[in-house]
A and B are shown apart, each in its own frame.
Chain A
Amino acid sequence: MAKTKNDLLPSEGGFGNEPLLAVDNLHVEFHTRAGVVKAVNGVSYSLSAGETLAVLGESGSGKSVTAQAIMGILDMPPAVIPKGEVRFRGTDLLRLSEDARTQVRGQRIAMIFQDALSSLNPVFTVGWQISEMFRVHRGMSKRDAMKKAVELMERVRIPAAKQRVNDYPHQFSGGMRQRIMIAMAIALDPEVLIADEPTTALDVTVQAQIMELLADLQRESNMGLILITHDLGVVADVADKIAVMYGGRIVENAPVHDIYKAPAHPYTKGLLESIPRVDLKGQELYAIKGLPPNLLDMPSGCAFNPRCPYRQDNCVTDVPPLHEISGVRSSACHYWREVLDGS
């Protein structure tokens, strides 16, 4: 049965309740001098409380733009959202006034970014920046807010938090800076935390610590976590489900163990095969041939077709809909059965 992507919210069947956050058929375009860049073309995903959704994709796949649209931090213009909904507890955030959205941002949906150094303000102490959440949103006094900042720094396991609260961002290491970003994001107990490549700029050992911290914090507070990454290795331990994005669309949606066992989209398969493995040491590492699509000039049909080993004639002409494989799984490939069987 071929259902179109529009009437399908993959995770709802699996959890059976109104999702905390639902992105529905979201489109984002950038109007530039060179033309209209369609960065997000009908993305839908959903997130429940306590759940971790990993959004996977390479640069330009639209994963970060989708997240920024949820937060409402896209620069508009040049960005335009012609279609779609972002429902948070049933309310479409895109229809809210700017004032109402400001009340959601940071307090109920928070976000952390890839480069913690440039994402922290260089001229204010970390304590000032964390406590700002309490001063502005909770009307706390400077002193009380500072105390809360120290508590939060302890909660994200920054050593000697009390002594370091008056230090500036540049005086911290990369991992510690990301912890400060996390402390700031979880300050007001948000219901959703979006982490946009939170570990990409960090050492491997520090990456693991940060992922562990995020997982622990999520367990403690039961918040929904959207983890945006291009690294399949990072998400394996923490994610509940994965949405793989390519060329501004979701190409595969699946629970995490299903996807690792047997991918249902050639792109996902390529990503999995390009992870270095100890048992294949010495062999040449697999790489998906070709380059990511040019968003100004997308290939006709399936955006992945120029790079796809499963390509048939109809891949060049027909855009594949998101085929439902099971209640919790879907793939935007005409030949998902072959891909699934072949892996």
Chain B
Amino acid sequence: MGRYVIRRLLQAIPVLLGATLLIFAIVFALPGDPIRALAGEKPPSPQVVEVLREQYHLNDPLLLQYWYYISGVLFRGDFGTTFQNVPVGDLMKATFPTTLQLALTALMIQAVIGVGLGLWAALRRGKAEDTMILASTLILISVPTLVSGFVLQLLLGVKLGLFPIAGTSEGWYSFLLPGFVLAGGSIAYLTRLTRTSLVETLRSDYIRTAVAKGMNRRRVVGRHGLRNALIPLVTFLGADLGNLMGGAVITERIFNINGVGSLLIRGVYERQQPIVVGVVTALVLVYILANLVVDLMYAVLDPRIRYE
């Protein structure tokens, strides 16, 4: 197991290097001049522009620029600075925990609601509850975050005053509503996935065996069915953590949460390569780690899977 983990982590190195190069090149290829974008309405003098371009190596070829960047990261732990001279490392340190907290809250919410509703629907298959749950997941999938975010903010935050309207000043509690909004589509998807998985599992031969052994329904479903049905869900939950972190932009905007999404948007608008590359690389790392955890979870849940 330990060797397997180490091998997987070593494999992550070329992936991360490749990802950084790719993102670096994409930002490089974007039209527009970052220095002019920085200056805004009033154009700076050509001399100033030239000095700044030299300072940020903007006149050098792509690969050389990339080398300056990646050697800084690798040898000095320096993720570069913004044009405002703020270290990108500090920005990421300030925003990542916030977004991670938001994403984890969303993940918890979708695991509880999605799996719960899915199990309920599967056990009441073909009955009224099942149809209702399936219909409501359809609605949940169809409503974009932009709508559900503002509506819930207005309804539960402003009108009813149940949740904080914006910001993160109230700790975990202030993440609940944004977390739910962020989890929205995933809740619906997970509900359907859980339902299908359990229905499928309950049709298998070993469930018939459990019934033939004289186990009551509670035990048949809860002990013999559930663990098998959960295996495919772990993949979804793991992969979704990355999606939630990267997709938190809109939610963060609506609820005025200072997270990775806002930072990334700013980086793209201002063509600040170090911000974009730093943030995206960190997100890639989250994906890789989440997938590794998923694979390890598999081995825990399914004894047929072993890593050596």
The residues of A with any CB-CB pair to B shorter than 8 Å are 71, 73, 99, 102-107, 110-111, 113, 115, 118-125, 132-133, 136-137, 168, 170, 181, 184
Task: Name the interface residues of B36-72: CB closer than 8 Å to any CB of A.
Answer: none
Secondary structure of the B side of the interface?
helix
Cα A322 to Cα B303 in complex, Å, equals 52
- B224: nearest chain-A partner, CB-CB: A121
B303 touches A122 (CB 8 A): yes
Cα A153 to Cα B62 in complex, Å, equals 69
Partner of A119, one of B208, B227, B301, B304: B208
A132 touches B204 (CB 8 A): no
Q: Could you say which residues of chain B place their CB within 8 Å of the CB of A118? A: 204-206
* B77 contacts chain A at the CB level, 8 A cutoff: no
| Contact stretch, chosen from B82-90, B106-114, B210-218 | B210-218
Known: A118-B204, A122-B206, A122-B303. A73 touches B211 (CB 8 A): yes
Give, as a whole number of angstroms, the nearest-CB distance from B264 to chain A. 40
Query: Which of A103, A105, A113, A119 has the largest count of B CB atoms less than 10 A from its CB?
Result: A119
A105 touches B206 (CB 8 A): no
A106 touches B219 (CB 8 A): no
Cα A250 to Cα B73 in complex, Å, equals 80
Task: Name the interface residues of B145-170: CB closer than 8 Å to any CB of A.
Answer: none
A170 touches B304 (CB 8 A): yes
A136 touches B204 (CB 8 A): no
A105 touches B210 (CB 8 A): no
Q: Number of B residues whose C-beta is below 8 Å from A? A: 20
B213 touches A113 (CB 8 A): no
Q: Could you say which residues of chain B place their CB within 8 Å of the CB of A110? A: 212-213
A107 touches B214 (CB 8 A): yes
B302 touches A113 (CB 8 A): no
Query: Which of A110, A113, A123 has the largest count of B CB atoms less than 10 A from its CB?
Result: A123
Give, as a whole number of angstroms, the nearest-CB distance from B305 to chain A. 10
Give, as a whole number of angstroms, the nearest-CB distance from A226 to chain B. 13
* B256 contacts chain A at the CB level, 8 A cutoff: no
Q: Could you say which residues of chain B place their CB within 8 Å of the CB of A106? A: 212-215
* B243 contacts chain A at the CB level, 8 A cutoff: no
* B95 contacts chain A at the CB level, 8 A cutoff: no
For the complex of A and B, 4 pairs with smallest distance between CB atoms: A106-B214, A105-B214, A118-B205, A106-B213
Cα A121 to Cα B228 in complex, Å, equals 9
A105 touches B213 (CB 8 A): yes
- B206: nearest chain-A partner, CB-CB: A121
Give per-residue flags for B263-307: 1 if the beta carbon is below 8 A from chain A beta carbons, else 0: 000000000000000000000000000000000000001111000
B303 touches A168 (CB 8 A): yes
* B209 contacts chain A at the CB level, 8 A cutoff: yes
Known: A136-B215, A137-B214. A120 touches B304 (CB 8 A): no
Known: A136-B219, A170-B304. A119 touches B213 (CB 8 A): no
